[in-house]
Amino acid sequence: MATAKKLDCVILGLLSHEELTGYEIKKRMDSVLHYFWGASYGSIYPTLRELCEKGLATVRGCVQSGREKRVYTITAAGREYLNLWLRLPVQKDEIRYETLLKLFFGEAGGPRQAIAHIDAFERKTKQELSYLLAAKKTLMGCLDDAPAHRYYLLTVQFGIETYRAYLRWCQQARAVLQQADKKE
Amino acid sequence: MATAKKLDCVILGLLSHEELTGYEIKKRMDSVLHYFWGASYGSIYPTLRELCEKGLATVRGCVQSGREKRVYTITAAGREYLNLWLRLPVQKDEIRYETLLKLFFGEAGGPRQAIAHIDAFERKTKQELSYLLAAKKTLMGCLDDAPAHRYYLLTVQFGIETYRAYLRWCQQARAVLQQADKKE
DNA sequence: CTTACCATGTAAGGCGTTACATGATTCA
DNA sequence: TGAATCATGTAACGCCTTACATGGTAAG
């Protein structure tokens, strides 16, 4: 359990709130979970099957407007499993930022190139930030609809704070590099 | 090339500054690169061999104080490869924070549990921050020794800014959850 | 009619971790 | 003399991504 597959837990977590299809799970991954967890269909569908085999979820075929869907539901055992995992201490928080890697070795490419990477990073960060700000607004409007919303908001707030820190850093870093560029 | 293995580039990046053994590369990964990239011996040693097979690095056996060492050096082709990669746009920056995952689904475990995860996260962040502040101090003292040092400092500064943002968020988040705990 | 979205899945292959296996040296 | 650190590697296994394969529906 200590080394439980994370995707099991993520999917179980999503199912603990609502019944979902594999396709919908992927959508959640790409929207609400997007900035701190990701997964592809190639991992989601097989995991879903495993979850059923382990008795942590059940499937139900469902024909909606002519299309066939497979709706997944969490079982009591699944909730137990999820709660067990939630109680365990966090094993690993990791960041893998290629931008920082390129910057770390950036001397080889010179200040101009490094600045270009920072510009791209800044653009992406601004975009993500505006998405998170919109998410926050939405959540603020329905905070009392479900107790889980407070927890969602906490993670959104995390993103907002860190993205703002990124943007401040971009300014600083660019200033340093522009200085270096002039000297060259 | 667009999909170049990142570890190749990281190792080549390290070798572009100095000759290193596999063991020393691992140490660099665990210290200077630690907060935005990681790797184990099980990936480092095989990668090193591949690098030599591709002609991007060369090995030299070396007996130092009785012990056998294998020292790796970057080749001209290796520098070219590294520079090519540095020029390419960043493919992916990703964060995988189990803490945020547990918090997102935290409603199932209640506010107390969520607070415990935040406390642990805060402790770890403080530790990492103090490490980075020490690294910054060291770097500030030898900024002009090598042009690469300015680039190192930039990444260290990134860590400092984001960790400080994390700590501010920890305060906020805990306050929100303590509020929720009282109501319960 | 064609583009975008809904919907499910498999297969090959890459990448990486953990655990194992081994042994020298240095320092307390 | 025992612990920590230096030092190099392999093997098994797990997890995930990419690419492929397929087809229905809705909207313009």
> Do residues A151 and B102 lie in contact, with contact meaning Cβ atoms separated by under 8 Å?
no
- The answer to whether residue A91 neighbours chain B at the CB level (below 8 Å) is yes
Name all protein residues with C-beta less than 7 A from any atom of nucleic acid chain D: A 3, 5-7, 38-43, 47, 65-67; B 21-24, 27, 41-42, 45-46, 48-49, 64, 67-70
Counting residues of chain A whose pLDDT is more than 70, the rounded percentage is 97
* B37 in contact with nucleic chain C (CB within 7 A): no
Query: Tokens standing for B88?
Result: 């390419």
Query: Residues A83, A87, A90, CA angle at the centre, nearest 5°?
Result: 120
> Do residues A151 and B107 lie in contact, with contact meaning Cβ atoms separated by under 8 Å?
yes
Confidence of residue B184 (pLDDT cuts 50, 70, 90): low
Could you report the per-residue pLDDT of B3-56, keeping only the tens digit for each?
A: 789 999 999 999 999 999 999 999 999 999 998 999 999 999 999 999 999 999
Chain B interface test: which of A112, A169, A174 (most B C-beta within 10 Å): A169
Confidence of residue A179 (pLDDT cuts 50, 70, 90): confident
Is 0.85 topped by the overall pTM?
A: yes
DSSP letter for each residue of A37-99 = ----HHHHHHHHHHHHHTTSEEEEEEEETTEEEEEEEE-HHHHHHHHHHHHSPP--EEEEEHH
| pLDDT of B122 over the 80 cut | yes
Which of A82, A103, A150 lies at the smallest CB-CB distance from B176? Answer: A150
8 Å CB contact of B16 and A102: no
- The answer to whether residue A167 neighbours chain B at the CB level (below 8 Å) is no
Could you report the per-residue pLDDT of B161-182, keeping only the tens digit for each?
A: 999 999 999 999 999 999 877 7
Could you report the per-residue pLDDT of A51-86, keeping only the tens digit for each?
A: 999 999 999 998 776 678 999 999 999 999 999 999
- The answer to whether residue B140 neighbours chain A at the CB level (below 8 Å) is no
Q: How far apart are CA A83 and CA A81, in angstroms?
A: 5
Tell which residue, A72, A142, A82, has the closest CA to residue B102.
Answer: A82
* A36 in contact with nucleic chain C (CB within 7 A): no
